Amino acid sequence: MKLHIYEPKSASMIQFVDFWSERYRYKLENLYTDNIGKSLTGSRVIELFIWKNGTPLSDKKDISVRINYIDRLDELKEFTQDFEAGEFLNRFSKGGAIWRIFWLHCFRPDEFPIYDQHVHRAMIFIKSGKVEEIPSNDPKKVIEYINHYLPFYSTFAGLDKRKLDKALWSFGKFIKENNFPMIQ
Protein backbone atom coordinates (compact mmCIF):
# COMPACT_ATOMS: atom_id res chain seq x y z
CA MET A 1 0.00 0.00 0.00
CA LYS A 2 1.29 3.48 -0.91
CA LEU A 3 0.05 6.31 1.27
CA HIS A 4 0.75 9.95 0.46
CA ILE A 5 0.03 13.37 1.81
CA TYR A 6 0.04 16.49 -0.27
CA GLU A 7 2.20 19.36 0.88
CA PRO A 8 2.37 22.52 -1.19
CA LYS A 9 5.75 24.15 -1.58
CA SER A 10 7.00 27.26 -3.29
CA ALA A 11 8.74 26.92 -6.63
CA SER A 12 10.57 29.05 -9.15
CA MET A 13 8.85 29.85 -12.44
CA ILE A 14 10.93 27.21 -14.20
CA GLN A 15 10.14 24.57 -11.56
CA PHE A 16 6.44 25.44 -11.72
CA VAL A 17 6.31 25.19 -15.52
CA ASP A 18 8.33 21.96 -15.60
CA PHE A 19 6.22 20.31 -12.88
CA TRP A 20 2.77 21.27 -14.17
CA SER A 21 3.49 20.91 -17.90
CA GLU A 22 4.52 17.30 -17.23
CA ARG A 23 1.03 16.68 -15.87
CA TYR A 24 -0.70 17.98 -19.00
CA ARG A 25 -2.84 15.34 -20.72
CA TYR A 26 -5.11 16.08 -23.66
CA LYS A 27 -6.34 13.35 -25.97
CA LEU A 28 -6.48 15.53 -29.12
CA GLU A 29 -3.09 17.20 -28.69
CA ASN A 30 -1.98 16.13 -32.16
CA LEU A 31 -4.66 18.37 -33.71
CA TYR A 32 -2.97 21.34 -32.08
CA THR A 33 0.66 20.40 -32.73
CA ASP A 34 -0.03 19.39 -36.34
CA ASN A 35 -1.74 22.68 -37.22
CA ILE A 36 -0.59 25.57 -35.03
CA GLY A 37 1.99 27.98 -36.40
CA LYS A 38 1.32 26.97 -39.98
CA SER A 39 -0.49 28.83 -42.72
CA LEU A 40 -4.15 28.90 -41.76
CA THR A 41 -6.35 26.97 -44.16
CA GLY A 42 -9.96 25.95 -43.74
CA SER A 43 -9.05 22.40 -42.75
CA ARG A 44 -6.39 23.56 -40.28
CA VAL A 45 -8.82 25.98 -38.67
CA ILE A 46 -11.43 23.23 -38.28
CA GLU A 47 -8.87 20.91 -36.68
CA LEU A 48 -7.67 23.64 -34.31
CA PHE A 49 -11.22 24.37 -33.19
CA ILE A 50 -11.92 20.66 -32.74
CA TRP A 51 -8.85 20.61 -30.48
CA LYS A 52 -10.13 23.64 -28.57
CA ASN A 53 -13.62 22.14 -28.29
CA GLY A 54 -12.26 18.79 -27.10
CA THR A 55 -14.73 16.89 -29.30
CA PRO A 56 -15.92 17.04 -32.91
CA LEU A 57 -17.81 20.23 -33.60
CA SER A 58 -21.59 20.15 -33.51
CA ASP A 59 -23.30 21.40 -36.67
CA LYS A 60 -23.96 24.76 -34.98
CA LYS A 61 -20.32 25.16 -33.88
CA ASP A 62 -19.02 24.06 -37.28
CA ILE A 63 -21.17 26.70 -38.98
CA SER A 64 -19.97 29.33 -36.49
CA VAL A 65 -16.29 28.48 -37.15
CA ARG A 66 -16.84 28.62 -40.90
CA ILE A 67 -18.75 31.93 -40.86
CA ASN A 68 -16.76 33.75 -38.18
CA TYR A 69 -13.24 32.56 -39.01
CA ILE A 70 -12.74 30.46 -42.16
CA ASP A 71 -14.84 32.71 -44.39
CA ARG A 72 -12.83 35.66 -43.06
CA LEU A 73 -9.29 34.28 -43.49
CA ASP A 74 -8.45 36.99 -46.03
CA GLU A 75 -9.09 39.68 -43.40
CA LEU A 76 -6.05 38.48 -41.48
CA LYS A 77 -3.84 40.05 -44.15
CA GLU A 78 -5.05 43.47 -43.00
CA PHE A 79 -3.32 43.09 -39.64
CA THR A 80 0.20 44.45 -39.75
CA GLN A 81 3.08 43.13 -37.71
CA ASP A 82 2.12 45.22 -34.66
CA PHE A 83 -1.47 45.40 -33.52
CA GLU A 84 -3.34 45.30 -30.24
CA ALA A 85 -5.36 42.31 -29.09
CA GLY A 86 -8.39 44.56 -28.59
CA GLU A 87 -8.25 45.75 -32.19
CA PHE A 88 -8.28 42.16 -33.43
CA LEU A 89 -11.03 41.04 -31.05
CA ASN A 90 -13.20 44.01 -32.01
CA ARG A 91 -12.78 43.13 -35.68
CA PHE A 92 -13.67 39.49 -35.04
CA SER A 93 -16.53 40.24 -32.68
CA LYS A 94 -18.71 37.16 -33.20
CA GLY A 95 -18.31 33.61 -31.98
CA GLY A 96 -17.87 33.95 -28.21
CA ALA A 97 -14.97 35.50 -26.31
CA ILE A 98 -12.96 32.34 -25.68
CA TRP A 99 -13.14 31.21 -29.29
CA ARG A 100 -12.29 34.72 -30.54
CA ILE A 101 -9.26 34.78 -28.25
CA PHE A 102 -8.34 31.33 -29.51
CA TRP A 103 -8.67 32.65 -33.07
CA LEU A 104 -6.22 35.42 -32.14
CA HIS A 105 -3.88 32.74 -30.78
CA CYS A 106 -4.22 30.69 -33.98
CA PHE A 107 -3.27 33.75 -36.02
CA ARG A 108 -0.30 34.77 -33.83
CA PRO A 109 0.49 31.85 -31.48
CA ASP A 110 3.85 33.26 -30.38
CA GLU A 111 2.37 36.62 -29.37
CA PHE A 112 -1.06 35.84 -27.94
CA PRO A 113 -1.55 32.97 -25.49
CA ILE A 114 -4.56 30.71 -25.16
CA TYR A 115 -7.08 31.80 -22.54
CA ASP A 116 -9.80 29.71 -20.92
CA GLN A 117 -11.35 28.85 -17.58
CA HIS A 118 -8.38 26.81 -16.40
CA VAL A 119 -5.63 29.32 -17.15
CA HIS A 120 -7.79 32.10 -15.69
CA ARG A 121 -8.19 30.10 -12.47
CA ALA A 122 -4.44 29.42 -12.38
CA MET A 123 -3.63 33.12 -12.87
CA ILE A 124 -5.94 34.26 -10.08
CA PHE A 125 -4.62 31.62 -7.69
CA ILE A 126 -0.98 32.44 -8.45
CA LYS A 127 -1.61 36.17 -8.03
CA SER A 128 -3.87 36.10 -4.97
CA GLY A 129 -4.06 32.59 -3.51
CA LYS A 130 -7.80 32.61 -4.21
CA VAL A 131 -9.88 30.35 -6.40
CA GLU A 132 -11.94 32.40 -8.82
CA GLU A 133 -13.79 31.34 -11.94
CA ILE A 134 -13.62 33.12 -15.27
CA PRO A 135 -16.32 35.78 -15.75
CA SER A 136 -19.45 34.49 -17.45
CA ASN A 137 -19.91 37.70 -19.44
CA ASP A 138 -18.04 37.72 -22.80
CA PRO A 139 -17.01 41.42 -22.68
CA LYS A 140 -15.58 40.83 -19.19
CA LYS A 141 -13.63 37.81 -20.47
CA VAL A 142 -12.04 39.99 -23.15
CA ILE A 143 -11.18 42.67 -20.58
CA GLU A 144 -9.67 40.04 -18.26
CA TYR A 145 -7.59 38.65 -21.12
CA ILE A 146 -6.29 42.03 -22.29
CA ASN A 147 -5.85 43.81 -18.95
CA HIS A 148 -4.86 40.94 -16.69
CA TYR A 149 -3.92 37.72 -18.47
CA LEU A 150 -1.60 39.18 -21.11
CA PRO A 151 0.46 41.14 -18.52
CA PHE A 152 0.48 38.12 -16.18
CA TYR A 153 1.62 35.81 -18.99
CA SER A 154 4.40 38.22 -19.94
CA THR A 155 5.95 37.81 -16.47
CA PHE A 156 7.01 34.35 -17.65
CA ALA A 157 9.04 35.84 -20.53
CA GLY A 158 11.85 33.63 -21.74
CA LEU A 159 10.14 30.36 -20.85
CA ASP A 160 8.86 27.93 -23.47
CA LYS A 161 5.38 29.26 -24.31
CA ARG A 162 3.80 25.92 -25.09
CA LYS A 163 5.11 24.42 -21.87
CA LEU A 164 3.77 27.47 -20.03
CA ASP A 165 0.33 27.06 -21.64
CA LYS A 166 0.29 23.40 -20.62
CA ALA A 167 1.44 24.18 -17.08
CA LEU A 168 -1.14 26.89 -16.45
CA TRP A 169 -3.92 24.76 -17.93
CA SER A 170 -2.92 21.73 -15.86
CA PHE A 171 -2.59 23.74 -12.66
CA GLY A 172 -5.92 25.51 -13.18
CA LYS A 173 -7.64 22.20 -13.91
CA PHE A 174 -6.05 20.71 -10.78
CA ILE A 175 -7.35 23.60 -8.66
CA LYS A 176 -10.87 23.00 -9.97
CA GLU A 177 -10.79 19.25 -9.43
CA ASN A 178 -9.00 19.06 -6.09
CA ASN A 179 -9.52 20.54 -2.67
CA PHE A 180 -6.01 21.00 -1.35
CA PRO A 181 -4.25 23.00 1.35
CA MET A 182 -3.11 26.49 0.47
CA ILE A 183 0.37 27.86 1.12
CA GLN A 184 0.27 30.10 4.15
Per-residue confidence (pLDDT) for residue 8, from 0 to 100? 79
Residue 180 has pLDDT above 70, yes or no: no
- Mean pLDDT, to the nearest integer, of 65-93? 95
* pLDDT tens profile 99-110: 999 999 999 999
Per domain, the residue ranges of the chain are 13-177
- Mean pLDDT, to the nearest integer, of 153-181? 92
Per-residue confidence (pLDDT) for residue 182, from 0 to 100? 58
Q: Are 150 and 1 in contact (CB under 8 A)?
A: no
* pLDDT tens profile 39-50: 999 999 999 999
Per-residue confidence (pLDDT) for residue 81, from 0 to 100? 82
89-93, 126-130, 142-146: least confident range: 126-130
Residue 26 φ then ψ, to 5°: -150, 120
Q: Are 123 and 56 in contact (CB under 8 A)?
A: no
Using DSSP's 3-state secondary structure scheme, residue 17 falls into helix
For residue 1, name the pLDDT band (cuts at 50, 70, 90).
confident
The whole-angstrom separation of Cα 31 and Cα 53 is 11
For residue 179, name the pLDDT band (cuts at 50, 70, 90).
low
- Mean pLDDT, to the nearest integer, of 172-183? 77
The reply to whether the predicted model has a pTM over 0.85 is yes
Report the 10 Å Cβ neighbour count for 17: 21
